[in-house]
Amino acid sequence: MTQLDQTVAGAQGARPAAGGGRRTTRRGGERRGPWAAWIFVLPALAVYSFFTLQSLAKSVQYSFYSWNGIGEARWVGLANYAEVFSDPRRVTALANAFKLIFFYSFLSIALGLIAATLIRGLNSRWSRASQTLLFLPQVVPLVGAGIAWTWLYSSDGAVNQILRAIGLGGVARAWLADFTFALPAIGIVGTWVLIGLCTMLLSAGMTKIDPSLYDAARVDGAGPIREFFAVTLPGVRGELTVCLTVTLIAALANFDVVYTMTLGGPGGSTMVPGVDIYQLAFNQARVGAASAMGVVLMVLVLALVLPLQRIMRERP
């Protein structure tokens, strides 16, 4: 989540800074040289450097060492990075993170869009009730949710009971022990959690859309589908960007759900980078290898999220 905070902070920080610069230039007389601004920035920069940049730099530094966290460290150059891309378990973990994007981002945003559009048509009491219902999973701590979902997915759990009740007993299985279905099962938990957040953001975005646009569309003979693609979707472009950013990071930085539900099992088929980093650092005491994996994960997150900010930026 720290990466998320950074990205959001960065995105928010950028624009006011530019505006501020313009204003100073216009007033002209109030300019006090470049150092005045730095005095105001310094306290925040000091805190940010100490808690965020320092840890980040240390991770990068550790990633070049073989170190158990206590004893002597040994310089190993890029060996830890080579391992990230050559050890099949590391590669599987990275690949799984990308597979989870489908459930965390695309599915939850698609369903969120549908839900928000439907909710827009309801009267306000029902819309608020359904928003609250969809948002509830956000309030539940993920660790608790993970345990509850483990019960639902167990061989005698609710999912299998329902399947058996409707005559699909043949499909019933211990979902989290199934090499094919364990990862999708975890992905669905992600969808369940994030759908409320997406619905909320998109609903908020839809209330900003000028109602006259809908009237105009209707006058032009647009049906609900056409209306959705011509008016609603462009109108929530900004909210979609936020949704995508947040859910992408949630998918790639997944830890708690996998840790409580499968520990990466069966046979490593649901391993994700977050759990892998944790196990490397705290079970195997290989701080260097864990740091290298963490740095790679951070670069991947940035590589996805930064272009996204650029592509989706609203053009005036």
Strand, helix or coil at 167?
coil
Residue 72 corresponds to which amino acid?
E
Question: Which is closer to another protein, CB of 13 or CB of 224?
Answer: 13
Stretch that binds another protein, among 21-29, 113-121, 196-204, 294-302 (CB under 8 A): 21-29
Minimal distance, residue 49 CB to another protein, in Å:
5
Does position 126 interact with another protein (CB under 8 A)? The reply is no
Please report, for residues 108, 165, 258, 261, the alpha-carbon distance to residue 146 in angstroms, rounded to integers and kept in the order given. 18, 24, 8, 6
Residue 64 corresponds to which amino acid?
F
The helix or strand, by DSSP H or E, that contains position 65, with its residue range, turns out to be: strand 65-66
- The number of beta carbons lying within 10 Å of the beta carbon of residue 304 is 18
Cis peptide bond upstream of 266, omega within 30: yes
Does position 222 interact with another protein (CB under 8 A)? The reply is no
Does position 311 interact with another protein (CB under 8 A)? The reply is no
Does position 176 interact with another protein (CB under 8 A)? The reply is yes
Does position 239 interact with another protein (CB under 8 A)? The reply is no
Of residues 85, 98, 179, 229, which one binds another protein by CB under 8 A?
A: 179
| Stretch 34-53: interaction string toward another protein, x if CB under 8 A | x--xx--x---x---xx--x
Distance separating alpha carbons of residues 198 and 164, to the nearest angstrom? 32
Of residues 23, 26, 27, 74, which one binds another protein by CB under 8 A?
A: 74
Minimal distance, residue 13 CB to another protein, in Å:
11
Minimal distance, residue 72 CB to another protein, in Å:
5
Distance separating alpha carbons of residues 16 and 142, to the nearest angstrom? 34
Contacts of 84 (CB under 8 A, 6+ apart): 90, 91, 94, 289, 292, 293, 296
Which candidate, 105, 101, 79, 77, places its Cα nearest to that of 90? 79
Does position 6 interact with another protein (CB under 8 A)? The reply is no
Does position 184 interact with another protein (CB under 8 A)? The reply is no
Minimal distance, residue 280 CB to another protein, in Å:
8
Contacts of 312 (CB under 8 A, 6+ apart): 237, 238, 240, 241, 244
- The number of beta carbons lying within 10 Å of the beta carbon of residue 202 is 26
Stretch that binds another protein, among 55-63, 98-106, 200-208, 301-309 (CB under 8 A): 55-63
| Stretch 146-175: interaction string toward another protein, x if CB under 8 A | --------xx-----------------xx-
Does position 22 interact with another protein (CB under 8 A)? The reply is yes
Minimal distance, residue 115 CB to another protein, in Å:
32
Of residues 8, 11, 285, 300, which one binds another protein by CB under 8 A?
A: 285
